Structure 1
Amino acid sequence: MWRHIASNALTFLVVLVFLFGGALIWAQNEYVSEGPLDQPICVQVDRGSNFRRVSEQLAEDGAVSSAALLRIGADYAGKTSELKAGSFLVPEGASMSEIVDIVTRGGASTCGTEVVYRVSIARATVQVRELDPATGRFVEIAEFNPAEDAVPAAYTEVKAEPDTRYRVALAEGVTSWQIVQELGQIDILEGEVADIPAEGSLAPDSYEITPGETRADLIARMQSAQDRILAEAWANRQDDLPYESPEEALIMASIIEKETGTPDERFLVSSVFVNRLRQGMRLQTDPTVIYGITRGEGVLGRGIRQSELRAETPWNTYVIPGLPPTPIANPGRAAIEAALNPDTTPYIFFVAKTLDPSDGHNFAVTLEEHNQNVAAYRALEAQRDN
C-alpha cells in the first residue's frame, strides 16, 4: 500500500514539474513575444511611481496581456528598481521585454510635449508641440515670438509638467550675435554670456536643454560641436585647395551658407569661389558687404546701396582681395563640407534664376553669358515692380 502511495506521489510530482516547466517556458515566450498593441502609445511614468502602477496602466492601455507577468519579468531581469520618470513612446507590437527596457533605460523622454526655441535668420519663435504616437508626428499646440507676443497659457502649462522636453534649434547662417540675443530670451536658461563668441564658431543644430542649464554651458556645447565638424571636414578635404588653414575654410563655408539656401547648389557655389581664388579674382559677394554694414547684428532689411558696394570695409569682397578676415555667419555641416570638397566646374559667375531664392542660380563661365543671365533677372525685377 505504501509503495502504491509513494508511486502515485512521485507521479504527481513529476507531473507538477512538467507543468511548472511548461508554464515557465510559456511565460518566457509571452514576455519576449510580440505584444498586443496595434498602434504606438505614449506611456507617462510619474516621478515616484512604481512598476505595479506602471504595469497596471500598460495593461489597461492594452500594451501588455498581463500586468503581473510584466512585473515578474522586470524583477527577474533586475530592472524593477530602475524605473525612470518621463514620457516614453511604446511602438506597435512591442514585447514586454522591450517595454521594460524602454521605461528603465533612462535618457530624454521620447514622446509627449516638447518646447522648441527656434533661432532663424529673420526671427525667433517658441513652438509648443506634442507627439502624436499614432503618426509619429508632432502636432503644434502654440507658437509665439518671445520678443513681440504675449506668452500663451499653453507654454506656461507645459513648463509646469516635469516630463516636458526642451530644445534649441539653430538655423544655418545665423550670426553669433543673433544666437546670444535669442538665448537671452529663453526663460529656462540661466546666467549671462560674457562675450559674443567668435563668428562661425557655433554649430547650427538642435540642442537638448534642461531647465536651469546655463547659457555659457550651452554656448560651449555649440563651440565643441563646430570644432568637431570642422576638424573632420578638414581631415577629409580635397587636395590643393586655396586655403591655408581650417579657419579660412570656415570663412568660405559661411559665405557659401549665405549665398544659397538650396542644398544641392552648395558644392557648385563653392566651385565658383574656389575658381575665383585660384585665378586671383575678387569674390564679389553681396553677403560679405552686408556683414560689413551690420557686423552680424540683425538683418539689413533693405537693398545694398552703390556707395556701400564701393565702401572699403574688411568684409567687402568687391574691394578687398581674397577672403574676409572672419566668417560672416555660423555655417552648418553641409556648407563646411562644400567649402572643402567643391565640385569641379569651369564656372566663374552665378546669379539668381528667379526672385524666389529657393529656385537656385544660373551659373556661367564667360562674362558675356553671365551678363545675359543678369539681364534676365533684372527683367523679372522690373516685372515685379510694375
Structure 2
Amino acid sequence: MRRAGCALVGIVVAIGLLAAAWLAFGWFSSGPVEEETAFIVPSGSTLTSAARKLEEEGLIGSADAFLLRAKVFGGSEPIQAGEFLLPEGASPSQILAIFQSGQVLRRFVTIPEGMPSALVYDRLMAEELLTGEIEIPEEGSILPDTYDFERGESRAAVLARMQEAMTRTIEELWPKKGPRSVVNTPAEAVILASIVEKETGVASERGMVAGLYSNRLRIGMRLQADPTIIYPITQGRPLGRRIRRSEIDAVNDYNTYSMSGLPRGPITNPGRDSIAAVLNPDETDALYMVADGSGGHAFGRTLAEHEANVEKWYALRRERGEM
C-alpha cells in the first residue's frame, strides 16, 4: 500500500513538473510573430483585452494560454497604452515585458533648416498618425530639427515641442553674442538669421553672409535681400516664377529693397547655425554678394568688385544657355 502511495505521489509530481515545463516553454519560447510588427494597445485596455487583440492579429497562439502564463510568470506591473514594436519571433514573455515597459514606438517628423511656418503647417497636417488641428505657427518660432512622436499624439503637442526647442536655443545662444553682432534683441537675431538662412544653402557661408548683412545694417545700407521681396507675397511658399520689377519696388514691412533696417519679422524658421552666425558674424569688409555658379557666392567689398563678380556670373549663365 505504501509503495502504491509513493507511486501515486511520483505520478502527481511528474505531472506537475510536466505542466510547469509546458507553461514555461510556452511563455519563453518564440511565438508566431513572423516579422517585426507594430501593435497598438488602445487606451484603457486591460491585459485580457490586449491578449484577445494579439490572438486576433495572429501574434500569439492563444489568449487564454497567454493570460494563464502571465499570471504565473508575468508579475504585477500594469501594461501601458500606445504603439509598440514587437520583434520577429517575440515570445509571450517578451510581449508582456514590452507592454509593461511603456517604451512606445516613436515616429519622426523632420523640419529642414529654412522651412517657413506655412510649410511646417502643411507637413504636420499631412502626417496621418497625428491628431487634431493647429493654426499656422508664428514665423521664426520653430527650431528646424527632427522630432519624434507617438501614433495618435496631437499636432499641437508636437508643435509645442518645436517651439520650446527654439526658445531654449535662443536662451542658450543669446548670452554668447559677440561684439561684431548688430542685433539688439533675440527677436532681431531670429529675423536676421532667417534672411541668412534663405540667402545661402552653403553651411560654410553663413558666417560670411551674416557678416555682410551686419556691415550693411551698421552703416544704414539697405539689405536688398531677394527673399524679403517674396515673403509678403507668398508667406513663405515658393513663388514659382521670377520676381517682377513692381515687386522689387513694392513698399511694405518686409521688402528690404524699399526699406532700411530689418523687416518686421522673420521670413522663415532659421536653424541653430544661422542664429549663431548672426550673433557672431565673420569679420569681413564685404558689402556685396552674387551667386558664383557653384551654389555659393562671390563676395565684394566695393561696388566695382561686385559689378565684376556679377559680370562673371552673367558670363557663366550665358555659357550655360540660361541667358
TM-score > 0.5 by shorter chain: yes
Bigger strand fraction: 1
Code of the aligned partner of 1:305: R
Matched, 1:367 2:306: no
Equivalent residue number for residue 243 of structure 2: 304
Within a 5 Å distance, the mapping from 1:162-177 to structure 2 comes to: 163=105, 165-177=106-118
Equivalent residue number for residue 154 of structure 2: 214
Equivalent residue number for residue 29 of structure 1: none
Aligned with 2:108: secondary structure?
strand
Q: Percent identity?
A: 42
- The Cα shift of 1:219 comes to 1.1
Counterpart CA distance in 1 for 2:36 and 2:102 is: 15
Give me the CA root mean square deviation. 3.0
Aligned with 1:202: secondary structure?
coil
Question: Aligned pair in 2 of structure 1 residues 104, 213: CA closer, same or farther (>3 Å)?
Answer: closer
| Deviation larger for 270-279 or 373-382 | 373-382
Any idea what the Cα deviations from partners look like across 1:320-375, whole Å, max 9, x if unmatched?
11000000000011111111111111111111110x52xx1111111101111011
Any idea what the Cα deviations from partners look like across 1:186-220, whole Å, max 9, x if unmatched?
11111111x32210001111010111111111111
Counterpart CA distance in 2 for 1:328 and 1:180 is: 15
Code of the aligned partner of 2:273: A
Counterpart CA distance in 1 for 2:309 and 2:101 is: 57
Bigger helix fraction: 2
Query: Contact 2:180 / 2:280 at 8 angstroms: preserved in 1?
Result: no
Equivalent residue number for residue 132 of structure 2: 191
Matched, 1:313 2:312: no
TM-score normalised by the chain length of structure 1:
0.58
Aligned with 1:167: secondary structure?
strand
Aligned with 1:350: secondary structure?
strand
- The Cα shift of 1:45 comes to 10
Counterpart CA distance in 1 for 2:100 and 2:193 is: 39
Question: Aligned pair in 2 of structure 1 residues 104, 221: CA closer, same or farther (>3 Å)?
Answer: same
Code of the aligned partner of 1:203: L
Counterpart CA distance in 2 for 1:292 and 1:254 is: 14
Code of the aligned partner of 1:375: E
Equivalent residue number for residue 274 of structure 1: 214
- The Cα shift of 1:82 comes to 10
Code of the aligned partner of 2:174: W
Matched, 1:330 2:283: no
- The Cα shift of 1:87 comes to 5.8
Equivalent residue number for residue 346 of structure 1: 285
Counterpart CA distance in 2 for 1:252 and 1:104 is: 48
Counterpart CA distance in 1 for 2:298 and 2:101 is: 51
Superposition misfits of 4+ residues, deviation over 6 angstroms: 42-49, 79-84, 102-105
- The Cα shift of 1:106 comes to 5.3
Matched, 1:290 2:290: no
Aligned with 2:147: secondary structure?
strand
Counterpart CA distance in 1 for 2:36 and 2:230 is: 50
Within a 5 Å distance, the mapping from 1:42-121 to structure 2 comes to: 86=85
In the alignment of these two chains, the number of paired residues is: 249
Equivalent residue number for residue 385 of structure 1: 322
Query: Contact 2:182 / 2:214 at 8 angstroms: preserved in 1?
Result: yes
Equivalent residue number for residue 91 of structure 1: none
Aligned with 1:362: secondary structure?
strand
Question: Aligned pair in 2 of structure 1 residues 346, 108: CA closer, same or farther (>3 Å)?
Answer: farther
TM-score normalised by the chain length of structure 2:
0.69
Equivalent residue number for residue 245 of structure 1: 185
Any idea what the Cα deviations from partners look like across 1:157-196, whole Å, max 9, x if unmatched?
xxxxxx5x41110111111111112211111111111x32
Equivalent residue number for residue 228 of structure 1: 168
User: Which ranges of structure 2 fall in alignment gaps of 5 or more residues?
Assistant: 1-34, 42-46, 51-72, 88-96
Equivalent residue number for residue 260 of structure 1: 200
Question: Aligned pair in 2 of structure 1 residues 370, 86: CA closer, same or farther (>3 Å)?
Answer: same
Aligned with 2:126: secondary structure?
coil
Any idea what the Cα deviations from partners look like across 1:139-162, whole Å, max 9, x if unmatched?
xxxxxxxxxxxxxxxxxxxxxxxx
Counterpart CA distance in 2 for 1:105 and 1:272 is: 56
Code of the aligned partner of 1:218: V
- The Cα shift of 1:292 comes to 2.2
Query: Contact 2:222 / 2:261 at 8 angstroms: preserved in 1?
Result: yes
Question: Aligned pair in 2 of structure 1 residues 233, 166: CA closer, same or farther (>3 Å)?
Answer: same
Question: Aligned pair in 2 of structure 1 residues 257, 105: CA closer, same or farther (>3 Å)?
Answer: farther
- The Cα shift of 1:103 comes to 7.7
